[in-house]
Amino acid sequence: MTEALAIRLADYQPYTHLVDQVSLTFRLAPTATRVKARLDLRPNPARGGGGHDLRLDGEGLRLLALAVDGRALAARSDATGLTISAADLPDGPFVLETEVEIAPEGNTALEGLYMSNGMYCTQCEAEGFRKITFYPDRPDVMARFRVRVEGDLPVLLSNGNPVAQGPGWAEWDDPWPKPAYLFALVAGNLRAHSAPFRTKSGRDVALNIWVRPGDEGRCAYAMDSLIRSMLWDEQVYGREYDLDVFNIVAVDDFNMGAMENKGLNIFNSKFVLASPETATDDDFARIEAIIAHEYFHNWTGNRITCRDWFQLCLKEGLTVYRDQQFSGDMRSHAVKRIEDVLMLRARQFREDQGPLAHAVRPESYVEINNFYTATIYEKGAEVIGMLRRLVGDDAYARALDLYFDRHDGEAATIEDWLAVFEETTGRDLAQFKRWYTEAGTPRLRMTDDFKDGSYTLHFEQENPATPGQPVKGAKVLPIAVGLLGPNGDEVVPTTVLEMTEPRQSFRFDGLPARPLASVLRGFSAPVVLIRDLRPEDRAFLLAHDTDPFNKWEAGRALAKDLLARMVVTGAQPGPDWLDALERVTLDDSLDPAFRALCLRLPSDDDMAQTLHASGHVPDPAAIYAARRRMGAALAQRLAAGLPGLIASLAEPGPFTPDARAAGRRALRLAALALLSRVDGGAAARAAFAGADNMTEEVGALSCLLDIGEGQAELARFEARWRADRNVMDKWFALQIAYAAPERAADVTRALTAHPDFDWKNPNRFRSVIGALAGNHAGFHHGEGASYALVADWLLRLDPLNPQTAARMSTAFETWPRYDADRQGMVRAVLERILATEGLSRDMREMAGRMLG
Ligand code: ARG
Ligand code: ZN
């Protein structure tokens, strides 16, 4: 369908020209902002010097003036840019000047220069700069930027260091060459929460978090996270900050989480603002991780950027990997790993096993904004984790040093990245590279045997077909294994087996008795492990495994096996799982955060994925019902111990967001949710009434909604938080997330009529429409009312904000899993979307790919 419009990796060519310097002047006005640009250009020797036309990207710009070396040229712009014929250009360097007019106030796509609550702000990644001025808007064109901002607002910010300012104007200079996607400008009535920082070599940096007046008191945690991130990157990667200021701005209307613009990070306000009263423990953890992520991009993304957008994982996979390491160091590696794998399976495995599967480094795209995916980010990080496991920590550190040395100031590729590992280790990574070029989640089957003291593990890997990739080769799989003896002692400590063949066996000799293998420790490779294990063996691993990830995974597998049997055969929860879970829950030697994770039942969507992968057609209503029965059985079993457990986890003293306190709250709230199933919500009602922090407030409210109660509490919550956008997002989302399947569409429809359902705000849209898509049984209920409702809203949003609409269309990506009726209904919805006149390129590509 869209073949003709696809951009291909194979077509890459360097740009015809080099840009040495960019000078921009902005005269801000809501409906008529003037942008003057002066570009110092010269022919690119890599394209054989001169003789090329100059092609600049530009969209929605009103061109007012155009001159080369001071000589005015007639304007010849089209819908996507401007071409100046080689005949009009001198042979050597020249200066191009343009002036354009744009209207930030009418920019509802939130890409380019737009307005949010009276504040001007920008989002240029991936291709938003072309909506600001005519420019070679591609990441391999790196230039120095000098920016003058004129506007009648107290705070005027851009990238780099401040040069000069006066009433109504400010000038900024960024000494580091950068691609246009890292450009940023902010202007508004903002207040700063500030702190000083001195880098390890003695550079003083002014740190500022800019927020709307009134929000200054909610910046402390983000600032603390920033300072810890800066110290960590110095200590762990030897990377220092490189400007005199580091500015962060919180914006309410933002399509994504945050953006790493050089020296001027722009954040979705929900990932900056936090106080104990307004933010949950999960919010605090996410803020810490995203502040770190954007800060770490200063080296992995900004100093070394991507040659083209096919290399997006070069910066995103590595930066996610780094922020995961950081969060593990700040909190608990075991808990962080479990949470990351839960997320990976929920989002990336889901993507990889459906019609939107694509490689970590794709070969073509229509709209690059559709490729900011779990595969690029999270699988991209997993691939780096595997690489590190294969080469070892020291070699990893040396490879990274070489990477930073060699490519600083450059726009690099995955080939460059792999080359530093090949050179530091002498390894050939040709086969490993398949992880970047081939999509799909490998399935790894394992069997074992024991004879005469020799224990052998047999593995077989299968690499399933994905769209456009019918056949693929074997992957390099680092399989971390440990062996446990019959009494639970570890007889062989963690060993990394390196599998490179489709089938491979590994033998361990000299064992007195048949061991039980703990396989894929730490989730050492992003695969689906298929292994027949008796429930008592899983329970044994849950009790004895020394690897915390696999200890959790054993309990998880026990629960999933049971839940699958409950769905398929109507079985009842047996003693294996209940006994095992009771032991873990009441084991005070285990981290409360870990125990809370063990109590979390597999999600409905996770079960649908698992059942589908094992050859069943998942029935959403049956999964929902079985999961409810499972929760009820667990609540009955643990009932007697719950009040004591809850009481023992009370935190005296004021709220602190640290991991230890958060873990205790998590376990307490997990216990409260179970208790609510047997006490009618009495304890949760009391907890809600007495809550002095948002974690408790939302936690207790969730317990009540989960048992079909909590209407009075919802009303009180709304009355208390009506004026707070970020908190009210939770209020909207919770009601839909916990709605019973047959009510989910109606609850959602009613909330879309609420006066505070500001659907043009991406956070609010996600809290309502996204929450319905996330309520598995509700989304797939009955005759497709939820499908239609979600589609209607996507089509309504698409003309205004294609990026957010297209992203949310992934609600439909799992349709091939389900029965013929549901498949037919979703196909009809996707066909209706595709047939809509004026559909965005973003949405057209997504719907087209989902239909296959
Ligand atoms: N680079 C940003 C980050 O990972 C994400 C920006 C994505 N923006 C977009 N329009 N797709 O932090
Ligand atoms: Zn990123």
Q: What is the ipTM of this complex?
A: 0.98
Cα-to-centroid distance, 221 and ligand 2 (Å): 20
Residue with the smallest CA separation from ligand 1 atom 1 is: 259
Q: Is any atom of ligand 1 closer than 6 Å to the C-beta of 184?
A: no
Rounded to an integer, what distance in angstroms lies between the CA atom of residue 695 and that of residue 631? Answer: 22
Instruction: Considering the candidates 97, 127, 171, 294, report the single residue annotated as catalytic.
Output: 294
* Per-residue pLDDT, 1: 44
Structure tokens at 43: 């022919």
Q: Is any atom of ligand 1 closer than 6 Å to the C-beta of 271?
A: no
* Per-residue pLDDT, 795: 99
Which is the closest atom of ligand 1 to the Cα of 316?
A: 4
161-166 and 169-178 beta bridge pairing: antiparallel
Q: Is any atom of ligand 1 closer than 6 Å to the C-beta of 127?
A: no
Cα-to-centroid distance, 110 and ligand 2 (Å): 18
Closest of 748, 757, 816 to residue 779, by C-alpha: 748
First to last CA, the chain: 10
* Per-residue pLDDT, 241: 99
* Per-residue pLDDT, 3: 46
Residue with the smallest CA separation from ligand 1 atom 6 is: 259
Ligand nearest to the CA of 319: 2
Q: Please, are residues 176 and 303 in contact by the beta-carbon 8 Å criterion?
A: yes
User: What are residue 443's DSSP bridge partners?
Assistant: 462, 528
Cα-to-centroid distance, 449 and ligand 1 (Å): 48
Cα-to-centroid distance, 293 and ligand 2 (Å): 6
User: In testing the pocket of ligand 1, which one of 125, 127, 265 has its CB within 8 Å of the most ligand atoms?
Assistant: 125
Q: Please, are residues 545 and 518 in contact by the beta-carbon 8 Å criterion?
A: yes
Which residues does the chain have with pLDDT short of 70?
Answer: 1-4
Q: Is any atom of ligand 1 closer than 6 Å to the C-beta of 371?
A: no
Q: Is any atom of ligand 1 closer than 6 Å to the C-beta of 372?
A: yes
Q: Is any atom of ligand 1 closer than 6 Å to the C-beta of 369?
A: yes
Rounded to an integer, what distance in angstroms lies between the CA atom of residue 318 and that of residue 736? Answer: 35
The pLDDT tens digits of the residues spanning 660-673 come to 999 999 999 999 99
* Per-residue pLDDT, 220: 98
Which is the closest atom of ligand 1 to the Cα of 369?
A: 11
Query: What's 463's DSSP letter?
Result: -
Count CA atoms closer than 13 A to 420's CA, side-chain side.
Answer: 21
Cα-to-centroid distance, 498 and ligand 1 (Å): 34
* Per-residue pLDDT, 576: 87
* Per-residue pLDDT, 553: 98
Q: Any catalytic annotation for residue 490? A: no
Structure tokens at 585: 């829950």
Ligand nearest to the CA of 317: 2
Q: Is any atom of ligand 1 closer than 6 Å to the C-beta of 125?
A: yes
User: In testing the pocket of ligand 1, which one of 248, 256, 321 has its CB within 8 Å of the most ligand atoms?
Assistant: 256
Rounded to an integer, what distance in angstroms lies between the CA atom of residue 291 and that of residue 283? Answer: 12
Residue with the smallest CA separation from ligand 1 atom 12 is: 259
Rounded to an integer, what distance in angstroms lies between the CA atom of residue 804 and that of residue 367? Answer: 13
The pLDDT tens digits of the residues spanning 382-415 come to 999 999 999 999 999 999 999 999 999 999 999 9
Q: Which residues contact 430 (CB under 8 A, 6 or more apart)?
A: none
User: In testing the pocket of ligand 1, which one of 130, 372, 810 has its CB within 8 Å of the most ligand atoms?
Assistant: 372
* Per-residue pLDDT, 75: 72
Q: Is any atom of ligand 1 closer than 6 Å to the C-beta of 351?
A: no
For 506, the enclosing helix (H) or strand (E) is strand 503-508
Cα-to-centroid distance, 125 and ligand 1 (Å): 6
Q: Is any atom of ligand 1 closer than 6 Å to the C-beta of 259?
A: yes
